[in-house]
Amino acid sequence: MYEQLLRDSRLYHTLHRYDKDLAAQTRAEGCEECGAKLDSARYPRKPRGVPGNLSREDKLHHSLCCRQCRKRHNPPSLRFFRCRHYVGVVVALASAMVGGITEKRAAAMRDLVGVSVRTLYRWREWWQETLPQTAFWKAARARLGRPVDAARLPASLLERIRGTDLEDRIFRLLYFLSPTTTSWPGAARLSMPG
């Protein structure tokens, strides 16, 4: 089921629409340094692990730049986890699918999204060791009610999130994690929908 979603270009188009909305929200708040208006400073990314038929628009990163002090503002993103080359949905789902890196599973991920076994191990370390130590996670896990098994992240988090179907749960997971994709102060006020 994950494989079908990762190959569906409509998923990436929808994620782009969410990112566009988050950029508009950031833009409306103005510059965190001087309060001036923010201008669009979008730039193309070369995301890995995505279907080859994505439009140029779906590969744009919605960055902003202050009109007065020229400070760059990167709004939260459902598509891009900071400077990672692979899009967030690939990082999340490939990590959730792996559940333990075996030669067979690593080969399946390489065939599906082109990710190396070394990268899978780095992602696993980020999910299970780095993320649980962040201030974001310490505050966010309190909103989850019952504890989430950090040794099984991101699968344990994806299992906890309710939604109408797997795609909806993935959107909610990425939205929940979007404050980790930016240094924008307003991102801390985001809350998981529904």
Residue 6: which residues within 8 A CB-CB, separation 6 or more? Answer: 49, 89, 90, 93, 94, 112, 113
In 3-state terms, what secondary structure has residue 84? coil
Cα angle value 184/136/88 (rounded, 5°) = 75
The pLDDT tens digits for 148-169 are 898 899 999 998 888 999 899 9
More confident residue, 167 or 52: 167
Q: What is the pLDDT of residue 29?
A: 92
In 3-state terms, what secondary structure has residue 46? coil
Sheet holding 64-66, edge to edge: 38-40, 64-66, 72-73
Model's pTM, two decimal places?
0.83
Can you name the residues that pair with 35 across neighbouring β-strands?
Answer: none
Domains of the chain, residue spans: 2-184
